[in-house]
Amino acid sequence: MKRTFELIAPCHFGLEAVLKKEILDLGYEISLVEDGRVTFIGDEEAVCRANVFLRTAERVLLKVGSFEARTFEELFQGTREIPWEEYIPQDGKFWVAKASSIKSKLFSPSDIQSIMKKAMVERMKGHYNVTWFPEDGASFPLRVFLYKDVVTVGIDTSGDSLHKRGYRTLTAKAPITETLAAALILLTPWNRDRILVDPFCGSGTFPIEAAMMAANMAPGMNRSFLAEDWKSLVPRKFWYEVMDEANDLVEQDVKVDIQGYDIDGDIVKAARANAAQAGVDHMIHFQERPVSALSHPKKYGFVISNPPYGERLEDKASLPALYREIGERYRALDAWSMYLITSYEDAEKYIGRKADKNRKIYNGMLKTYFYQFMGPRPPRRNQENRTIETETE
């Protein structure tokens, strides 16, 4: 009989709605949406499917408890009340990997980590009737959030952050994470029938994530997860079944027009290598090319990019000219849309047009803006085709 869990998926602040839609599309019920994370209901299979298929989650946590704690004694007692023996075997390695506290009486991460570990040991000593634990088995790292004195406790099922797809072995100076790139693409109306160009492609993250979407490749297909070793909690058969599901969905022969340019030839080579590692190098055209050469003969394409921010003082002076050039090249494209993520607050001024939408997104601790310049929609297909589509849906 399958067990039912609450699962917590952290994400970038400001992108909760994108992750929520992904989880709903996988078929799971949302129980809570908070700043930076979405909680949903699922079984053992959901642990596997969420890790393998979610493009915008940072990791997947198995929620084991939630309680109020304003003192360290309350933290100890609340932690000890959690039935750890239902999750962690006697030889399991367990520790509080990360503790964060916002607007709470308890705020010292190291003290929170130490006290919770002691409480877990006390609980499990009584259940397993031992005085010490070897901790030489599977790993069960905890992640703990304190918000307004409410402690939420989850066990990390993912291990390495889910942005580590396994394909990016080489990176540019200021890479954008795979999860953030995927979320930003999903915020646009782009689909695999439309052109996509990234004129500042760096290590190739935007083009690669777009190509994986176009080919219906699950982001977690080529990596491992901590919970694969939790044989008593998440049987191995679920991992095998989900990987089979992911492989069956791949469409390797899909035709797309995805391009990535960068002014640095070595970076372009790295992007090609990363795309090959991801299995999508045949879907992307990478080229050493400056933004001044951005052009395309067709209509209704998309520019989706992470241009330089000028975080270093010596780079700031070059930004007005760079963003002016971006604006000029964009205006030369016929009926295109452009989506840029940047922390440069004068981007619209030098692009020469106010964005149709502007979304504030935190890229780590850096406040950035996702500027959305929307071109016209392509014309609909003829009436006959629309009728056929309607009749066969």
pLDDT at position 252, please?
87
Q: CA dihedral in degrees (124, 149, 18, 171; nearest 10)?
A: -70
pLDDT at position 349, please?
97
Topology, domain 178-218+226-373:
Rossmann fold (3.40.50)
Distance between CA atoms of residues 196 and 209, nearest Å: 11
Distance between CA atoms of residues 191 and 234, nearest Å: 35
The tokens describing 29, both together, are 């019920």
232 backbone dihedrals φ, ψ, rounded to 5°: -80, -15
Q: What is the chain's pLDDT, residue by residue, as a tens digit (393 residues)?
A: 789 999 999 999 999 999 999 999 999 999 999 999 999 999 999 999 999 999 999 999 999 999 999 999 999 999 999 999 999 999 999 999 999 999 999 999 999 999 999 999 999 999 999 999 999 999 999 999 999 999 999 999 999 999 999 998 866 666 789 999 999 999 999 999 999 999 999 999 999 999 999 999 999 999 999 999 999 899 999 999 999 999 999 998 999 999 999 999 999 999 999 999 999 999 999 999 999 999 999 999 999 999 998 766 557 889 999 999 999 999 999 999 999 999 999 999 999 999 999 999 988 788 899 999 999 999 986 643 443 333 333
Residues 324 and 351: beta-carbon distance below 8 Å? yes
pLDDT at position 110, please?
97
Q: Which of 157, 172, 124, 142 is nearest to 224 (CA)?
A: 157
The alpha carbon dihedral of 114, 93, 227, 179 has a sign of positive
The tokens describing 382, both together, are 């003829």
* Domain extent listing, the chain: 5-156, 178-218+226-373
Question: What's the distance, CA 384 to chain centroid?
Answer: 40
Distance between CA atoms of residues 112 and 79, nearest Å: 11
Distance between CA atoms of residues 263 and 49, nearest Å: 38
Pairing of strands 93-102, 366-373: unpaired
Residues 11 and 58: beta-carbon distance below 8 Å? yes
Residues 144 and 198: beta-carbon distance below 8 Å? no
pTM to 2 decimal places: 0.93
pLDDT at position 316, please?
81
Neighbours of 138 (CB within 10 A): 18
Q: Which of 151, 146, 43, 134 is nearest to 88 (CA)?
A: 134
The tokens describing 291, both together, are 């933004």
Question: What's the distance, CA 130 to chain centroid?
Answer: 41
Residues 274 and 168: beta-carbon distance below 8 Å? yes
pLDDT at position 121, please?
97
Q: Which of 363, 62, 94, 59 is nearest to 223 (CA)?
A: 59
Distance between CA atoms of residues 317 and 306, nearest Å: 18
Cα–Cα–Cα angle for 53, 167, 245, nearest 5°?
Answer: 30
CATH 3.30.413.10 is the classification of domain 5-156: no
Bridge partners, 329 (sequence order): none
Residues 198 and 304: beta-carbon distance below 8 Å? yes
pLDDT at position 392, please?
34
